[in-house]
Amino acid sequence: MTVTDAADATPEGVGDPILDLLNGFIVQLRAAGLPVSLTENLDAMQAIRHVPLEDRETFKYALAATLVKHHNHWKAFETVFEVYFSLRGDEYQVGEELVELPEMDDDEQGDQQGSGDQQGGGGENLTPEELAEMLYQSLMRGDQQMMRGVARQAVKRYAGMEPGRPVGGTYYLYRTLRNLDIDGVLERLLEQEQNEDGEAPSDFEQRLARDEYQSRANQLQQEIEAEIRRRLVADRGVEAMAKTLRKPLPEDVDFMHASREEMASLRKAIWPLTRKLAARLQRKRRHGRKGPLDFRRTVRASLSYGGVPAEPKFRNPRPHKPEIFVIADISGSVAAFARFTLHLVYAISGQFSKVRAFVFIDGLDEVTHMFEGVEDINEAVHRVNTEADVVWVDGHSDYGHALGVFWEKYGNEIGPRTSIMILGDARNNYHASESWIIKAMNEKARAVHWLNPEPQSYWDTGDSIVGEYAQHCDGTFEVRNLRQLEAFVDNLA
Amino acid sequence: MSHRFSDVAALKDELAGVDYLSDEGIAGVVYLADRLQKPILVEGPAGTGKTQLAKSVSEITGARLIRLQCYEGLDEAKALYEWNYKKQLLRIQAEGGSDEDWTDLSDDIFSDEFLLTRPLLEAIRSEEPVVLLIDEVDRVEVETEALLLEILSDYQVSIPELGTIEAKQIPLVFLTSNNTRELSEALKRRCLYLHVDYPDMEREKEIVLTKVPDITENLADQVARVVRSIRQIELKKHPSVSETLDWAKTLVLLGVEKIDEQTAASTINILLKYQSDINKALKELATADGVTP
């Protein structure tokens, strides 16, 4: 089935249409932000000669292996792939036959267990009850073909898709899911489970069962998404769809505007990031410069060369161990960002001799103790958000007052080894800035950095007074996504 | 040049024959690597069978496995080649007194006889087929990566005194990485990329069934389910496949037939290695509602 013979014989074995197709695909990948180099492009062309084009999965993996060199980019690749090749392939035919039953166009699964007769006689006339029953059955058995059938029917019936209507896929997805009431079906399935056993299952067993059904439900949701996407592509064309579905890569997701899903994936990404940073810091230290000349040992060594200092000896470098003070604004507007930075700073705290954390809104409180001895950073962050005493008057950011409190209580503890990081958007609600405190801090401390989660173009607009503080800082950085955060911490060390 | 594998499905079966259960992606990329004669960069969490993949491939192709374990401070002398300095000294001393020409002598001491081959050079000089495994490549420094580039793209090693040594046969090269740091673009560009993640439930069950003797299908199924549930919880370190296998073996030894909360609680330390993770997992598993992913 492979086309290897042709490939070995003539390099031109692949016709032009496929090259054009692939080129178009790569243009879309690049538009989605994936770095695809020319050599990788060539490799992909080589690769598809060796795989059977009719095998969609293998084709996909062949492209992925040559074009995607970073796991975080896999999702973006998959989206582009599904959109771009959604109308090419037998089982992905769209058009009149949409109303057909799933069994008919999936002929390799001709004999389906039982589900056929429920749907026989034309899926078009399925009542909502029948569809609900089908959904129930498919989730209970975890039957992939049947799920696909349900997905098609459900989208057709509930999504209410109209050609040319300028709404995104999420809207249709929401409509379909709302009508299907998957959560209700899950509850029913779980109850069913209990009745079958006769005795009530333990919480543990229930949990396992729930996870099982939940994973099937997720599978179903993916089928539905795929179906919607397919129809949208058929309606609007590949380029337009690829553009609407384009999402930022994980390292480019903006902290301030991340969706709940993106937040979860960011949280997952932060742990490996800290590990990476820690490893890098350690390496830098170990392979860094040597210390100053050790005169005594050099002379001692020179004795074995008859007094000629042939072998200079150096002191071990003194480990550079900065203290870090993190002062974070945790008011609503920047809370998500502050949480990430607290995570990060604490995860690398092993690398620094001392890390102290302060949070403020209009009052200020030290929260270092909340992280001590806590192994689960999420819990610590939660405690910070609920227990820290940060409200002074009305719970609206007041940088001036918060800095005043800091200076009064902790100002004396700033020493020449202290690096201070201030996280916030400097939106001060038109209170006094008290920027002299930053200046005073910087005179005592090693460095003062300001991290601002707002785009640079918003700085100093409205009630933002970051510029006023910035003139007394060693640096003001825009830190809106993981990439920028990583670059900053890397620089710091 | 003849190919090692006829097609993807056959490769997958062969791998299954040596107890390595692959999936479409894994088999597909290995197949491509053979056809395109390119190295494979295998990345993924620890304990998902990255190293095992290379071993299994060497087993089914009957090729010798040459392994280079990477570590910080790995250098040319340990990875590529080294001159046998002592032997060279002996050679010079043996000639001492005779009036041999220096150029002859230096030609002589920089010849094959005095060359100590290290894994990379050995892999390309070998006559018989070879699978080269460069393990944990993320442990070397960025600068050291450059050592690998020549061999990865052209299958050759340049030795200043001897010239360029080209491969007698093209080895199948696997590089593994635990992703503790970003590998350089240059290295990635030369490789096919394969990300091996934790297997899905079905495959994990199959793996447990193949690798743990005497396990009942029912128990294997439960093991896979519990492990999947645990992996959905946010933990410091998720259980790896090898830990799943250890757990399954333990359960078989203990004569467990059905995993209940009690058994899970008393043996979970095999799956999870952090106390905070253990506490969290036990707490989570005991709640029937589950977390919505």
Q: How confident is the model at residue A289 (pLDDT cuts 50, 70, 90)?
A: low
**pLDDT digit string, tens, across residues B90-133:** 888 887 666 667 777 777 888 888 888 889 888 988 888 899 99
What's the CA gap between B201 and A219, in Å, rounded? 13
**pLDDT digit string, tens, across residues B67-84:** 999 988 888 888 888 888
Is the per-residue pLDDT at A79 higher than 50?
A: yes
Is the per-residue pLDDT at A94 higher than 50?
A: no
What's the CA gap between A109 and A107, in Å, rounded? 5
Q: Are A268 and B234 in contact (CB under 8 A)?
A: yes
Could you tell me if B189 and B92 lie in one domain? Answer: no
The amino acid at residue A88 is R
Question: Hunting for tokens 């005592």 — which residue is that?
Answer: A444
Could you tell me if B35 and B129 lie in one domain? Answer: yes
Long-range contacts of B284-288 (CB under 8 A, 24+ apart): B284/A207, B284/B233, B285/A204, B285/A207, B285/B226, B285/B229, B285/B230, B285/B261, B286/A203, B286/A204, B286/A207, B286/B261, B287/A203, B287/A207, B288/A203, B288/A206, B288/A207, B288/A210
Q: Are A478 and A456 in contact (CB under 8 A)?
A: yes
Question: What residues of B are in contact with residue A69 (Cβ under 8 Å)?
Answer: 41, 188-189, 191, 193
Question: pTM of the prediction?
Answer: 0.74
Q: What angle do CA B214, B215, B219 make, to 5 degrees?
A: 160
Determine, yes or no, domain membership for B181.
yes
Could you tell me if B183 and B56 lie in one domain? Answer: yes
B104: CB partners within 8 A, 6+ apart: none
Determine, yes or no, domain membership for B293.
no
Could you tell me if B97 and B209 lie in one domain? Answer: no
What's the CA gap between A275 and A151, in Å, rounded? 41
- Quote the pLDDT of residue A345: 67
Q: What is the CA radius of gyration of chain A?
A: 30
Question: Hunting for tokens 């060539």 — which residue is that?
Answer: A42
**Listed residues B65, B96, B117: the one ending a domain:** B117
What's the CA gap between B84 and A36, in Å, rounded? 44
Determine, yes or no, domain membership for B178.
yes
Report the residue of B22, B36, B38, B188 to disrupt the A interface, i.e. the one with the largest count of A CBs within 10 Å: B36
- Quote the pLDDT of residue A464: 85
Indicate the helix (H) or strand (E) that contains B64.
strand B64-69
What's the CA gap between A13 and A9, in Å, rounded? 8
By C-alpha distance, the chain B residue nearest A71 is B195
Indicate the helix (H) or strand (E) that contains B54.
helix B50-61
Q: How confident is the model at residue A116 (pLDDT cuts 50, 70, 90)?
A: very low
Is the per-residue pLDDT at A209 higher than 50?
A: yes
What's the CA gap between A63 and A84, in Å, rounded? 13
Could you tell me if B12 and B61 lie in one domain? Answer: yes
Determine, yes or no, domain membership for B2.
no
What's the CA gap between A459 and B77, in Å, rounded? 54
Determine, yes or no, domain membership for B234.
yes
The sign of the CA dihedral A201, A202, A204, A207 is positive
B6: CB partners within 8 A, 6+ apart: none
Q: Around Cβ B150, how many Cβ atoms within 10 Å?
A: 16
Is the per-residue pLDDT at A450 higher than 70?
A: yes
The amino acid at residue A378 is N
A142: CB partners within 8 A, 6+ apart: A212, A216, A219
Report the residue of A42, A49, A208 to disrupt the B interface, i.e. the one with the largest count of B CBs within 10 Å: A208
**pLDDT digit string, tens, across residues B34-46:** 888 899 999 988 8
Could you tell me if B179 and B44 lie in one domain? Answer: yes
Going by C-alpha positions, the residue among A139, A207, A378 that lies closest to residue B290 is A207
- Mean pLDDT, residues A159-176: 71
What's the CA gap between B148 and B175, in Å, rounded? 10
Determine, yes or no, domain membership for B289.
no
Minimum-distance CB partner of B179 among A50, A207, A272: A272
The reply to whether residue A50 touches residue B182, judged by beta carbons under 8 angstroms, is no
Structure-block tokens of residue A282: 């350690």
> Residue B152: which domain range?
8-77+118-195
The reply to whether residue A276 touches residue B232, judged by beta carbons under 8 angstroms, is no
- Mean pLDDT, residues A400-425: 87
Q: Buried b vs exposed e over B213-250: b needs ≥16 C-beta within 10 Å?
A: eebeeebbbbbbbbbbbbbbbebeebbbbebbbbbbbe
- Quote the pLDDT of residue A2: 41
Is the per-residue pLDDT at A68 higher than 60?
A: yes
Q: Are A473 and A442 in contact (CB under 8 A)?
A: yes
Could you tell me if B109 and B135 lie in one domain? Answer: no
Q: How confident is the model at residue A122 (pLDDT cuts 50, 70, 90)?
A: very low
Minimum-distance CB partner of B228 among A47, A50, A211: A211
- Mean pLDDT, residues B273-277: 83
- Quote the pLDDT of residue A190: 75
The reply to whether residue B181 touches residue A202, judged by beta carbons under 8 angstroms, is no
Determine, yes or no, domain membership for B221.
yes
Could you tell me if B113 and B219 lie in one domain? Answer: no
Q: Reading across the β-sheet that carries B40-43, which strands appear in turn?
A: B64-69, B130-135, B172-177, B40-43, B192-195
Question: What residues of A are in contact with residue B226 (Cβ under 8 Å)?
Answer: 208
Question: What residues of B are in contact with residue A283 (Cβ under 8 Å)?
Answer: 72, 141
Structure-block tokens of residue B200: 């899905």
Lowest mean pLDDT among A81-85, A119-123, A266-270: A119-123
Could you tell me if B70 and B152 lie in one domain? Answer: yes
Q: How far is C-alpha A404 from the geometric centre of its chain's CA atoms?
A: 37
**pLDDT digit string, tens, across residues B204-216:** 888 898 888 888 8
Characterize the bridge pairing of strands B115-117 and B81-83: antiparallel
A20: CB partners within 8 A, 6+ apart: none
Is the per-residue pLDDT at B228 higher than 80?
A: yes
By C-alpha distance, the chain A residue nearest B237 is A271
**pLDDT digit string, tens, across residues A220-271:** 888 888 888 777 777 777 777 777 777 777 777 777 777 777 777 776 666 6
The reply to whether residue A204 touches residue B261, judged by beta carbons under 8 angstroms, is yes
What's the CA gap between A113 and A145, in Å, rounded? 10
Indicate the helix (H) or strand (E) that contains B43.
strand B40-43
- Quote the pLDDT of residue B289: 56
- Quote the pLDDT of residue A181: 76
What φ, ψ does residue B214 adopt, rounded to 5°?
Answer: 70, 10
Q: How confident is the model at residue A106 (pLDDT cuts 50, 70, 90)?
A: very low
Determine, yes or no, domain membership for B3.
no
The reply to whether residue B7 touches residue A1, judged by beta carbons under 8 angstroms, is yes
Indicate the helix (H) or strand (E) that contains A329.
strand A323-329
Lowest mean pLDDT among A391-395, A483-487, B268-272: A391-395
A291: left (phi over 0), alpha (psi -120 to 50) or beta: beta
Report the CATH number that the domain containing residue B172 is assigned in CATH: 3.40.50.300
Could you tell me if B172 and B211 lie in one domain? Answer: no
Could you tell me if B36 and B152 lie in one domain? Answer: yes
| Number of domains within chain B | 3
ipTM here: 0.82
Q: Please, what is the average pLDDT of chain A?
A: 74
Report the residue of B177, B195, B273 to disrupt the A interface, i.e. the one with the largest count of A CBs within 10 Å: B195
Looking at chain B, the whole-number percentage of residues with pLDDT higher than 70 is 96
Q: Around Cβ B282, how many Cβ atoms within 10 Å?
A: 16
Minimum-distance CB partner of A65 among B192, B201, B286: B192
Smallest Cα distance from A149 to chain B, Å: 22
- Quote the pLDDT of residue B40: 93
Is the per-residue pLDDT at A14 higher than 80?
A: no
**pLDDT digit string, tens, across residues A378-389:** 677 777 777 777
Is the per-residue pLDDT at A29 higher than 60?
A: yes
**pLDDT digit string, tens, across residues A299-334:** 888 888 888 888 888 887 766 666 788 888 887 777
By C-alpha distance, the chain A residue nearest B44 is A71
Could you tell me if B135 and B62 lie in one domain? Answer: yes
Q: How confident is the model at residue A100 (pLDDT cuts 50, 70, 90)?
A: very low
Minimum-distance CB partner of A50 among B36, B194, B290: B36
The amino acid at residue A18 is I
Report the residue of A59, A71, A205, A211 to disrupt the B interface, i.e. the one with the largest count of B CBs within 10 Å: A211
DSSP A29-61: HHHTT----HHHHHHHHHHHHSS-TT-HHHHHH
The reply to whether residue B189 touches residue A376, judged by beta carbons under 8 angstroms, is no
